Amino acid sequence: MSASHDTRDAPSLYDPIRIGAIDCANRMVMAPLTRSRAGEGLVPSPMAAEYYGQRATAGLIVTEATQVNVLAQGYISTPGIYTDAQVQGWRRVTDEVHRRGGRIVVQLWHVGRVSHVSLLPPGEVPVAPSAIRAETKTFAPEGYVDVSMPRALRLDEIPDIVRDFAQAARNAIEAGFDGIEIHAANGYLIDQFLRDGSNHREDEYGGSIENRTRFLHEVAEACVAAIGADRVGARIAPVTPSNGAHDSNPQPLFERAVERLDALGLAYIHVIEGATGGPREPQPFDYAALRAKFRGAWIVNNGYDREMAEAAIREGRADAVAFGVPFLANPDLVRRFREHAPLNTPHRETFYGGGAEGYIDYPMLDDAAR
Between CA 15 and CA 26 the distance in angstroms is 5
Distances (CA, A) of 5 to 12, 210, 313: 12, 31, 9
Q: Where are the alpha helices (DSSP H) in 150-271?
A: 158-174, 189-194, 209-212, 214-227, 250-263
Tell me if 1 is assigned to some domain. Answer: no
Above 70 in pLDDT, residue 370?
no
Above 80 in pLDDT, residue 279?
no
Tell me if 309 is assigned to some domain. Answer: yes
DSSP 243: G
- Of the candidates 118, 110, 121, 116, which has an alpha carbon nearest to the alpha carbon of residue 69? 110
Q: What is the pLDDT of residues 37-68, one digit of tens each?
A: 999 999 999 999 999 999 999 999 999 999 99
User: What is the per-residue pLDDT for 276?
Assistant: 79
Give the CATH number for residue 250: 3.20.20.70
DSSP states of 38-106: --GGGPPPHHHHHHHHHTTTSSEEEEEEEESSGGG--STT--BSSSHHHHHHHHHHHHHHHHTT--EEE
Q: Show Cβ contacts of residue 229 under 8 Å, excluding neighbours closer than 6 positions.
A: 20, 264, 265, 266, 267
Q: What is the pLDDT of residues 234-248, one digit of tens each?
A: 999 999 999 999 999
If one counts the domains in the chain, the total is 1
Is the Cβ–Cβ distance between 68 and 159 less than 8 Å?
Answer: no
Tell me if 195 is assigned to some domain. Answer: yes
Tell me if 147 is assigned to some domain. Answer: yes
User: What is the per-residue pLDDT for 81?
Assistant: 98
Three-state DSSP state, 232: strand
Above 60 in pLDDT, residue 6?
no
**Length of the chain as a residue count:** 370
Where in the sequence is the domain holding 181, given as residue range(s)? Answer: 7-369
User: What is the per-residue pLDDT for 367?
Assistant: 79
Is the Cβ–Cβ distance between 140 and 218 less than 8 Å?
Answer: no
Between CA 175 and CA 168 the distance in angstroms is 10
Q: Show Cβ contacts of residue 305 under 8 Å, excluding neighbours closer than 6 positions.
A: none
Q: What is the pLDDT of residues 161-205, one digit of tens each?
A: 999 999 999 999 999 999 999 999 999 999 999 999 999 999 999
Of residues 188, 205, 287, 304, which has the active-site annotation? 188
Active site residue 14: no
**Helix or strand (DSSP H, E) at 181:** strand 179-183
CB atoms within 10 A of CB 251: 15
Tell me if 2 is assigned to some domain. Answer: no
- Of the candidates 361, 360, 368, 326, which has an alpha carbon nearest to the alpha carbon of residue 52? 360
